[in-house]
Amino acid sequence: MDSSANSLINPDARMGLAGAQPGAGAAGAGQAGGADLGGLSGSLGGNFGQRLSGLAQMRGNPRAPLIFAVALLVAVVVGLFLWSRAPDYKVLYSNLSDRDGGAIITALQAANIPYKFSDAGGAILVPAEQVHEMRLRLASQGLPKSGSVGFELMDNQKFGISQFAEQINYQRALEGELERTVESISSVKSARVHLAIPKPSVFVRDKEAPSASVLVNLYPGRALDEGQVLAITHMVSSAVPDMPVKGVTILDQDGNLLTQPSTGNGLDASQLKYRQQIERSTQQRIDAILAPLFGSGNAHSQVSADIDFSHSEQTSENYGPNGNPQQAAIRSQQSSSATEMSQGAASGVPGALSNQPPQPASAPINAPTGASGVTTTPVSDRKDSTTNYELDKTVRHLERPMGGIKRLSVAVVVNYLRVVDAKGHATMQPVTADKLAQVNQLVKDAMGFDQARGDSVNVVNSAFSTDLDPNADLP
């Protein structure tokens, strides 16, 4: 009993006792000189066989069940201890986009924080004692960049949900999709979209247009140009039914309004920029043509443009006077003729005999064959003819696009000419009238002068003041 137990606990000791015998020692000494892999595998096989034999001997031992029960109890206690020390996982973030989820997992792996996913796969779980710490650490890294949800919010609709809750979920999903679309722009780090969708009404008078507010968080050192702002405005306006472009407001993280309102003179930022562009281009053309004549800085011009930003369409129909019928096209023509005949007048005295039914008619004996007994004479012969000609009609559709120039006003001032006499003395002399007339004509040609729209040009020759030195040091 004891020997079998000792062999199970320490089978190598049993092997040592067996190897202590004289014969076994001599054999072991002989094998030691030529040890190889075959001898090592044989020794391992012998050890495994001895352990199996020890287990076989324990099957007949009446204390074997007690030993197994104690071992099982120890294993259960150790398992319960390890399970009690396992961390309790709590939700770190849920409803994350694929980009944010990958970035958060990378940050957790770098910090050696254990994590796992929820059963539905829509949340990331971390140990409960590290939830708040990891949220702060991830927030310092700008994660998650966006926690918005899109139309996947509509995938798990509960049965029996009210129409109001369904409308709210749809609005949240639409806002999330718009946020994701705006965030796809390279300069936008994150975005928030708020939609104000009024309740639909059957009365046209009470119908209100929806509106939207967009907050963009830009990357450091980046900005949105006017084209990108206009693109975001039209994108949001097109995504919501009946939303006008003017109902979309965009601002950045610093509170700067990117969609500029109309200025005090009734022009918005784009219209004001368009007018300034026309004035600047006209001024550059005038200065470029006067610089070779008077030198740089000796001629200055200013341009004022009156732009028509109204958009109008006009359709008119004009009918010309009647022309030669022989050359006119016939639309329709109709003709008819009618001839009325009358019989002989009635004779006899009216009375009882005349009220009798007529007697059978009899042809006269001497009447020719086919001749009628009643004489008829023509009374009237009428012919009608109607001819409709095509009208000389002119239909004109006139569309006037916005941005046309209504009037241009140009003012030009020219400096005196510097004249050097024979002695080398330089004097400033005024420009002659003929040359001023030439300058006036050149300015008109450069600006595209149109007398019909009321353009004006004023050219003045005057000596420029030299009292102020532009290079003087300012205090």
The pLDDT score that the predictor gives to residue 475 is 45
Neighbours of 420 (CB within 10 A): 9
Mean pLDDT of 441-466: 91
Mean pLDDT of 70-97: 78
Read off the pLDDT band of 95 (50, 70, 90): low
DSSP 404-470: EEEEEEEEEEEPPEEEE-TTS-EEEEPPPHHHHHHHHHHHHHHHT--TTTT-EEEEEE-PPP-SS-T
Q: Which residue has the higher pLDDT, 380 or 168?
A: 168
The pLDDT score that the predictor gives to residue 129 is 86
The pLDDT score that the predictor gives to residue 152 is 62
Whether residue 446 has pLDDT greater than 50: yes
pLDDT, averaged across the chain? 76
* CATH class of the domain whose range is 148-259: alpha beta
The pLDDT score that the predictor gives to residue 332 is 80
- Per CATH, the number for 280-310+399-461 is 3.30.300
Read off the pLDDT band of 6 (50, 70, 90): very low
- List pLDDT tens digits, range 146-164: 666 666 666 667 777 888 8
> 3-7, 170-174, 211-215, 462-466: which has the minimum mean pLDDT?
3-7
Q: Does this model's pTM top 0.75? A: no
- List pLDDT tens digits, range 359-400: 665 555 555 555 455 555 666 778 888 877 777 778 888 887
- List pLDDT tens digits, range 113-135: 888 887 666 688 888 888 888 88
DSSP 51-116: HHHHHHHHHT-TTHHHHHHHHHHHHHHHHHHHHHTSPPEEEEEES--HHHHHHHHHHHHHTT---E
Tokens of 377: 């004479």
> 54-58, 121-125, 237-241: which has the minimum mean pLDDT?
54-58
Tokens of 196: 């104000």
> Are 148-259 and 280-310+399-461 the same fold in CATH?
yes
Continuous segment of H or E residues that includes residue 190: strand 188-196
Mean pLDDT of 343-352: 56
Q: Give strand pairing partners of 429.
A: 417
The pLDDT score that the predictor gives to residue 286 is 94
Mean pLDDT of 431-444: 92
> What gap in Å lies between CA 258 and CA 353, rounded to an integer?
112
> What gap in Å lies between CA 112 and CA 100, rounded to an integer?
18
Q: Percent of the chain, pLDDT > 90?
A: 21
Name the residue ranges covered by the structural domains of the chain: 148-259, 280-310+399-461
